[in-house]
Chains A and B, each alone.
With several copies, the nearest count.
Chain A
Amino acid sequence: MASSNMPYAVRAYERRRLADALRKMILIRKFEEAAEASYMRGLIHGTMHLSIGQEASAVGSCMSLEERDKITSTHRGHGHCLARGADLGRMFAEFFGKETGYCRGRGGSMHIADVERGNLGANGIVGGGLPIAVGSALSAKRLGTGAVTVCFFGDGANNEGAFHESLNMAAIWKLPVVFVCENNLYGMSMSTDRSTAVGNISERAAAYSMPGATVDGNDFSAVAEAVDAAVARARAGEGPSLVENMTYRLRGHSRSDRNRYRTKQEIDDWAKRDPITRLFGMLVSHGVMAEGDMAELDGDAARKIDDALAFAASSPDPKVEEAAFYVYAGSGAR
C-alpha cells in the first residue's frame, strides 16, 4: 500500500508532467518578479496585481485541462495565463503596452488573455468572469465539444451577486464548469472573516447542490487532486463543482497597498509555506527530482524571462492613429 501513501500528484502524473508543473510555477514566480521590477523602473503603466505565493493554485488547477478546455481568469491572472502555456514575450509586451502584446497594448495586465490557448481573459471586474465561464460551459454542452471551463475567482468575488447567479445557473443546467475560488484571505483590505458570512467559502456550494471542497492551496498536489476530480465530474456530464484553494498573496494587493490590514508576522508565516519550495521538496523526496535541479530550473526560467523582456522592449508601440481599431469587427487588421 506504499503507493497510496504517496501524494496524489506523484501517483497521478508522469515525471515529465510533474517537472513541467514545477517549471511553470517557477516561471510564474520569476515572471512576476520581473514584472514587478519593470514596474518599479517605470516601464509599466497603470497598476498590477501579483500572484506571488499563489502559483500552486494556478498550475494545480489546470493539470487536467486539455486544449479544447477554457478558463476565465481574474485581475490577478498572470499565473492562470502562464499555467495554460502563454507566451512570455507577448505577456510582457502587453504590460509594456506594445502592439505585439496579447491585447495589442490595449488591455494591459488586467485584461491579459490568450484565447487560442483557451484563456478567455483576465477581468478587471471582480466577479465579471463568473457568468462568462457559465456561458462558455453552456456552449460546450450545446455544441457537444466536451470542453470543460475552469472559472477562477477570488474570495472577495464570492460576495458579488454574479457568484450566486452563476453557480445557480451552472447547477440547474448541469454545466461542465469548475469554480475555483482562490481564497487568499483578503479582498483588497477586507478579510474573509469580515466580508463573508460563512467559515469556508466552499460551504456555499451546498446552496447550489454542488460538491464543495476546501484544500490547501499552497499544496500543488492537493489542488490538483481536488480540481482533477471536479474536471472529471464536469467532463462526465455530472455538473459543476466548487473548489476553494486556501492560499495567500505575499505581495500587497497592488502597488498602492500599504499592508495596514495585516501583520508582518502573518506574511512571514505564509512565506514559509511557499508552494514552490513545497512542490520541489515533495518531488525530491519522491525521487522525481534531485536537489541540484533547482539551479537549472531557475536558470532556465531566468533566460526565458530575459528573452521575453528583450522581445517586449524591442517591440513597436501601437500607432496612435489606430487607437480605435478593434472596437468593432472589421476595424483593425487581423
Chain B
Amino acid sequence: MSGRSERVRGKLSYAEAIREALDIAMDRDERVVLMGEDIGVYGGAFQVTGDLFGKYGPERVIDTPISELGGAGVAIGAAMTGLRPVFEFQFSDFAALAMEQIVNQAAKLRYMLGGAVSVPVVMRFPAGSGTGAAAQHSQSIEAWLGHVPGLKVVQPSTPEDAKGLLLSAIEDPDPVMIFEHKLLYKTKGHVPRGHYETPIGEAALRRIGHSLTIVATSIMARKSLSAAEELARQGIHADVIDLRSIRPIDRETVLASVRKTGRLMCVYEGVKTLGIGAEISAMVAESDAFDFLEAPIVRLGGAECPIPYNPELEKSVVPQEPDILEAARNLVQGRI
C-alpha cells in the first residue's frame, strides 16, 4: 500500500516492530483499536504497546479489567460490528480463560451463520518459557488453536515478520492469532519502514542446504538457524524452514525441501506430544515426499512436563541449541 518505503534503517527490536505495526495500522484506519490488560499507561506487561496510549488516548488504547473471557468476547463483538480490535493477552496461558470466545465464537461465527458475518479480530499472545515465570506463565499452546478451523495462527520469529504478519492480520477479514515468544521481544533485526504485509500461510526458507530439512517455529527457528551454522562447519548443511504460520501450513515449502534432503527434523517448544511437530511429521509422512525419506522423522519438542521454575530445569525441558546440533548430527549420520 504505502508503496516504495522499503528502505532499510537501523535495527528495531521485535517489540518495537510490533508497536510500529500497531501505530501504522491505527494511523491509517480509525477502526483499529487496541484492547488488553495494562496496555495503556503501563505500556503492556512486555512494553509492547509502549506509549501508543499517549498518542491515541484511552478511546483507542483500551485497558480492560482482568476479564479475559469477557474481554476477548468484547473484541469479537466489536469486530463483528465495525471495529478492528487487536486484543493483547498478557500471557498466552490466559487464553485458557477465553477459549470459549476464541473457539466457539470467533472461529465459528462466519461458518455457523453461512457467511453472513466476519470476525476481523487479532489476538496477540506472549508465549513460551525462559523467563522464570513457571508453569502458568510459560506455556506454548499454539497447537490448540492450530487445531481449530476458522482461525489463522502465526508465530513470527523476526522483527520484520512480527510487523508484517501483524499488519496482514489486521487487514485480514478472519480472526488471526499471533503467538509472540517473550524471549524474542528484545531481539533486534532490520525492519522495513511503512506499511507492508507478510503473507499468512507462507513459510520462510531461511537457509539452504541439502543434508537435512529443519522445520522450526518461533524462537526455535532462531536456535535452529544458529545450530545450522555450526552444523555447516561440521559439513552438515541444513535447509532451515521457519514455519511462521501454523494454520494454514505452507505444505509445499516443507515438502519441496524434504524431497530434496530426504531427512526431516521438526523443532518446537510446545509439548512434544500433539505439538506442531506432530503435524509437520504427519503431513510429510502422508505425502509423496514420504518416498524420499531416508530416515525416520525426528521431533525435538518440549518435555512431557509443565515448565519448571528452577532455571536449569526450565532450560532442560525445551530444546536448546546443543540438542538441535546433536539430533541433527544423529539424523544425518543414521544414528537414530
Q: Which chain B residues border A166 with CB–CB below 8 Å?
A: 70, 73-74
Please state if A128 and B77 are interface contacts (CB–CB under 8 Å).
no
Please state if B136 and A120 are interface contacts (CB–CB under 8 Å).
no
Q: Which chain A residues border B110 with CB–CB below 8 Å?
A: 326-329
Q: Which chain B residues border A121 with CB–CB below 8 Å?
A: 109, 112-113, 117
A160-B66, A169-B64, A328-B174 given; A139·B116 CB < 8 A: no
In residues 30-81 of chain A, which contact B (Cβ within 8 Å)?
Answer: 45-47, 70, 72
Please state if A169 and B136 are interface contacts (CB–CB under 8 Å).
no
- Tell me how many residues of A have a C-beta within 8 Å of chain B: 80
Which among A102, A189, A195, A260 has the highest number of chain B CB atoms within 10 Å? A189
Q: Which chain A residues border B304 with CB–CB below 8 Å?
A: 324, 327
CA distance A101 to B310 in the complex (A): 11
In residues 57-96 of chain B, which contact A (Cβ within 8 Å)?
Answer: 59-60, 63-83, 85, 93-94
Q: Which chain A residues border B303 with CB–CB below 8 Å?
A: 323-324
* Additional A-B contact list (17), CB under 8 Å, known A104-B114, A124-B134: A97-B313, A103-B112, A113-B117, A121-B117, A127-B66, A132-B80, A136-B78, A142-B59, A164-B70, A169-B64, A172-B65, A189-B41, A195-B65, A323-B308, A324-B303, A327-B111, A334-B115
Please state if B66 and A111 are interface contacts (CB–CB under 8 Å).
no
B residues with a Cβ closer than 8 A to A are 31, 33, 37-38, 40-43, 45, 47, 59-60, 63-83, 85, 93-94, 97, 100-101, 104-105, 109-118, 131-137, 149-150, 152, 172-174, 303-306, 308-314, 316-317
Q: Which chain B residues border A195 with CB–CB below 8 Å?
A: 63, 65-66
Please state if B116 and A102 are interface contacts (CB–CB under 8 Å).
yes
Chain B CB within 8 A of A16 CB: no
CA distance A156 to B37 in the complex (A): 11
Q: Which chain B residues border A128 with CB–CB below 8 Å?
A: 73, 100-101, 104-105, 136
Please state if B308 and A111 are interface contacts (CB–CB under 8 Å).
no
Please state if B63 and A97 are interface contacts (CB–CB under 8 Å).
no
Closest residue on chain B to residue A45 by CB atoms? B132
Smallest distance from the beta carbon of B59 to chain A beta carbons, Å? Answer: 7
A residues with a Cβ closer than 8 A to B are 45-47, 70, 72, 94, 97-98, 101-108, 110-111, 113, 115-116, 120-121, 123-128, 130-140, 142-143, 145, 156-157, 159-162, 164-166, 168-169, 172, 187-190, 194-196, 256-258, 260-261, 317-318, 320, 323-330, 332, 334
Please state if B63 and A189 are interface contacts (CB–CB under 8 Å).
yes
CA distance A101 to B305 in the complex (A): 19
Smallest distance from the beta carbon of A97 to chain B beta carbons, Å? Answer: 3
CA distance A106 to B113 in the complex (A): 7
Main secondary structure of the interface of B (DSSP, over half): loop
Q: Which chain B residues border A138 with CB–CB below 8 Å?
A: 74, 77-78, 83
Please state if B83 and A142 are interface contacts (CB–CB under 8 Å).
yes
Which among A123, A128, A159, A327 has the highest number of chain B CB atoms within 10 Å? A327
Q: Which chain A residues border B116 with CB–CB below 8 Å?
A: 102-103, 113, 115-116
Please state if B65 and A156 are interface contacts (CB–CB under 8 Å).
yes
Q: Which chain A residues border B100 with CB–CB below 8 Å?
A: 125, 128, 162
Q: Which chain A residues border B45 with CB–CB below 8 Å?
A: 188, 256
Query: Within the complex, which residue of B47, B67, B94, B308 is in contact with A125, where a contact is CB–CB below 8 Å?
Result: B94
Q: Which chain A residues border B314 with CB–CB below 8 Å?
A: 45
Smallest distance from the beta carbon of B54 to chain A beta carbons, Å? Answer: 11
Query: Within the complex, which residue of A107, A116, A190, A325 is in contact with B134, where a contact is CB–CB below 8 Å?
Result: A107
